[in-house]
Amino acid sequence: MATIYEVSKLAGVSLATVSRVMNNNANVSDTTRKKVTSAMNELGYRPNSIAQSLASNCSNSVGLLVSELSGPFYGPMMGGIENVFRKQSKHVIIAAGHSDKAREEQAIEFLISRNCDGLILHVEAVSDHYLIELAKGKTPFVLLNRFIPELAERCITLNNKHGGYLAAKYVLEQGHKNIAYISGPLWKKDAQARLAGHKQALLEYHIAFDEELLYEGDFMESGGTQGYKHLHATSHPFTALICANDEMATGAMACAREHGVELPEALSIMGYDNVFFTRHVFPPLSTINYPINEMGRMAANWILSEVYQKTTPTLQTVFEPELVIRQSIANKT
């Protein structure tokens, strides 16, 4: 591989000049610029990005930590992020935290030790305190789907409460009065917020919230099936079931069908997130859209702006959910 030295020799200029045309910033006359570029072409020169990084103290890499590489939620998020970075010739290093405190912390360590210029973190298990301490370090990061007041300006979140509200409101508008709810793990802020929005809508419609019709799930399919079984076993009847995410909703649907209940006639079901397979389930699932792809792009833009001083479209930290109506809710009015 040709080095900058060989290019400089062939072009008959100094190393510095070659470097200047590479980073086409400084003042270089047109004639020498041409000499240099043609020398580069002749040699098939490619800058060594490692050497650039060492000398410039900038690795042009950003770390991306997600809970899982698979699953319907993270794919679109990573897609949005990779897309904006590659256009800027930044590369993204991925790691998975598996919603586990130790593994998340270890992954962050790993990414930092890899000299990432910045980090995009979708973490769940790590403590607020840890992140606040981390913010004092020298690697900038942005948080996706997590809000910490002390770090507010670097948190990109969805208005989860409003989404919970929209879901319940729609179900109520369809005339349902007995509504069951399968929440996420209630130690998670987003699960809390979704439930809070749900309760707010109920309040507005003067429907009492029935604690017996609440089941705390785990945001996974199994939580939906277990939740349905539990709710079914209570003596409290319900015509609609709102789930705090789509995976649980599909789990509940499958389970309800096994119990011989007709969907959506005998039971209406509502999801949350609008992951792509909600269109594929039967009946197609009404849900709340979570613009995760856009939010990923925004996180990437945050990094571009804060870390690389690029001018980007205005940064937005809170995103609004939207109701997506399909066929899983029956009209009872």
Dihedral Cα 71, 75, 78, 80, nearest 10 deg: -150
**Of 138, 84, 139, 108, residue with least CA distance to 300:** 84
Instruction: Report 238-277 residues binding a copy of itself (CB under 8 A).
Output: 250, 254, 257, 276-277
Nearest to 32 by CA among 7, 46, 2, 11: 11
| Residue 56 is a binding residue for DNA (CB under 7 A) | yes
Binding residues with DNA: total (CB under 7 A): 31
Are 183 and 194 a contacting pair, CB within 8 Å?
A: yes
How many Å apart are CA 325 and CA 96, to the nearest integer?
A: 33
Q: Which of 93, 148, 220, 318 binds a copy of itself (CB under 8 A)?
A: 93
Q: Which stretch binds a copy of itself (CB under 8 A): 32-40, 62-70, 153-161, 199-207?
A: 62-70
- Site mask, a copy of itself, residues 184-223, x = CB under 8 A? -------------------------------------x--
**Which is nearest to 266 in space by CA: 247, 251, 253?**
253
The reply on whether position 47 binds a copy of itself by CB under 8 A is: yes
CB of 216 to a copy of itself, least distance (A): 22
Q: Report what 61 binds from DNA, a copy of itself, none; CB cut-off 5-8 Å by kind.
A: a copy of itself
Q: Does residue 125 touch DNA according to CB under 7 A?
A: no
24 binds, among DNA, a copy of itself, none (CB under 5 to 8 A by kind): none
Contact 19, 26 (CB under 8 A): no
Spell out the residues 6+ positions from residue 173 whose beta carbon is closer than 8 angstroms to its own: none
Q: Which is nearer to DNA, 4 or 252 (CB)?
A: 4
Rounded distance between C-alpha atoms, residue 127 and residue 117, angstroms: 22
Please choose which of a copy of itself, DNA, none residue 19 contacts, taking the beta carbon within 5 to 8 angstroms, the exact cut-off set by kind: DNA
Q: What value does the CA radius of gyration of the chain take, rounded to a whole number of Å?
A: 26
In whole angstroms, what is the distance from residue 248 CA to residue 76 CA?
A: 19
> Is the N-terminal amide bond of 291 cis, ω within 30° of 0?
no
Which range of residues in 32-40, 89-97, 175-183, 204-212 is near a copy of itself by CB under 8 A? 89-97
Count of CB atoms situated within 10 Å of the CB of 253: 26
Of 201 and 292, nearer to a copy of itself (C-beta) is 292
- Which of 46/129 has CB closer to a copy of itself? 46
Sorted by sequence, the CB contacts under 8 Å of residue 188 that are 6+ apart come out as 124, 219
Among 107, 155, 171, 202, binds a copy of itself (CB under 8 A): 107
List residues binding DNA (CB under 7 A). 1, 3-5, 12-17, 19-20, 22-23, 26-29, 31-33, 45-48, 51-52, 54-57
List residues binding a copy of itself (CB under 8 A). 46-51, 53-54, 59, 61, 68-72, 74-76, 78-79, 82-83, 86, 89, 91-96, 107, 110, 112-115, 221, 250, 254, 257, 276-277, 279-282, 284
